Chains A and B, each alone.
Chain A
Amino acid sequence: MRNAAPALFLAAFLLSCSRTPQRSLTIAVNAGVEGTALKAAAKEWGEANHARIEVVELPYANLFEKEQLDLTSRTGAYDVIMLDDPWFPRMAADLARLPRDPDSDFVSTCLEVCRNPYKTGAYLALPYVGNAQLFFYRKDLFEKYRLAAPKTWDDVLVAAKKIGEGEKMYGYVMRAAPGNAVVADFMPLLWAFGGGVMEGNRAVCNSPPAVEALRFMLELGKYSPPGYAGFNADEVSAHLLQGTAAMSINWPAWIAAMDDPAKSKVVGKIEFSQMPGERDPGVGELGAWLVAVPAGSKHAADAFDFIYWATEPAQMKQAALKGNPPTRRSIFQSPDLMAKFRSYPAQLASLESARPRPRTAEWNEIENSFGIYLSKANDGAMDPRAALNAAADSIQKILERNESATHP
Chain B
Amino acid sequence: MLLALSIYPLIYSVKLAAADRRNFTRLFTDRLFLTASIQTIWLTLSALSIEFLLGLALALLIDSLARGRMFFRTALLIPMLLPPVVAAVAWRLIYNPQFGVLNGTLRRLGFHTADLTWTSGESSALASVILVDVWEWTPFLFLLLSAGLQAIPPEPLEAARVDGAGAWRIFRDVTLPLLKPTIVLALLLRTMDLVRIFDQIFILTQGGPGTATETVSLYIYRTAFRFSNFGYAAAMSFVLLAATLLFSRGLLRAMRAR
Name A residues whose Cβ lies closer than 8 Å to a Cβ of B.
64-65, 68, 72, 90, 176-179, 225-232, 235, 238-239, 242, 244, 362, 364-365, 368-369, 372-373, 375-376, 378-382
Q: Are A231 and B120 in contact (CB under 8 A)?
A: yes
**Please, how many angstroms separate the alpha-carbon atoms of A72 and B225 in the complex?**
12
C-alpha spacing A242/B228, complex, angstroms: 39
Q: Judge whether B79 is part of the interface by a CB distance below 8 angstroms.
A: no
- 29 of the cross-chain contacts (CB-CB < 8 Å) are A68-B228, A72-B228, A177-B208, A177-B209, A178-B208, A179-B206, A179-B207, A225-B97, A226-B117, A226-B120, A227-B118, A229-B117, A229-B121, A229-B210, A230-B117, A230-B121, A230-B208, A230-B209, A238-B99, A244-B98, A368-B226, A369-B32, A372-B32, A375-B210, A376-B211, A379-B120, A379-B121, A379-B212, A381-B210
Most chain B CB atoms below 10 A, which of A90, A177, A369: A177
Would you call B11 an interface residue if the criterion is a C-beta within 8 Å of the partner chain's C-beta atoms?
no
Q: Which B residues are in CB contact (< 8 Å) with A176? A: 209
Which residues on A sit within 8 Å (CB–CB) of B98? 225, 227, 239, 244
From B96, B97, B227, B228, A368 is in contact (CB under 8 Å) with B227
Q: Which residues of chain A are within 8 angstroms of B96 by Cβ–Cβ distance?
A: 235, 238
| CB-defined contacts of B125 to chain A, threshold 8 Å | 230
B227 close to A362 (CB less than 8 A): yes
B residues with a Cβ closer than 8 A to A are 32, 96-99, 114-115, 117-122, 125, 205-212, 214, 222, 225-229
Chain B nearest Cβ from A169, distance in angstroms: 11
- State whether B210 touches A379 (Cβ < 8 A): yes
- Report the nearest A residue to B225, measured CB to CB: A65
Count of A-B residue pairs with CB < 8 Å: 97
Contact status B226-A376, CB under 8 Å: no
CB distance from A348 to the nearest CB of B (A): 32
Contact A64 B226 (CB under 8 A): yes
A365 and B226: CB pair below 8 A?
yes
**9 further A-B pairs in the complex, CB-CB below 8 A; given A72-B228, A226-B97, A230-B120:** A90-B228, A178-B208, A227-B117, A228-B120, A230-B119, A238-B99, A372-B32, A375-B210, A381-B212
CB contact between B227 and one of A72, A365, A381 (< 8 Å): that residue = A365
Q: State A160–B167 Cα separation when bound (angstroms).
A: 64
Indicate whether A229 sits within 8 Å of B209 (C-beta atoms), given known contacts A244-B98, A379-B121, A381-B122.
yes
Q: How far is the CA of A230 from the CA of B210 in the complex (A)?
A: 9
Are A378 and B227 touching (Cβ within 8 A)?
no
Contact of B211 (CB < 8 Å), options: A178, A232, A238, A378: A178
The residues of A that contact B214 with a CB separation of less than 8 Å are 372
Which of these, A227, A362, A368, contacts B121 with CB under 8 Å?
A: A227
| B226 nearest CB across to chain A (Å) | 5
Cβ-closest chain B residue relative to A65:
B225
Nearest B residue to A242, CB-CB: B99
Q: How far is the CB of B189 from chain A (nearest CB, A)?
A: 28
B122 near A379 (CB under 8 angstroms)?
yes
Top 8 A-B pairs ranked by shortest CB distance? A230-B120, A227-B117, A227-B120, A376-B210, A178-B208, A65-B225, A227-B97, A365-B227
- Cα-based distance from A177 to B95 in the complex (angstroms): 15
Partner of B210, one of A239, A244, A365, A373: A373
In the assembled complex, which residues on chain A have CB atoms less than 8 Å from the CB atom of B99?
Answer: 238, 242
Given A226-B115, A228-B120, A242-B99, A368 contacting B210 (CB threshold 8 A): no
Q: How far is the CA of A146 from the CA of B115 in the complex (A)?
A: 32
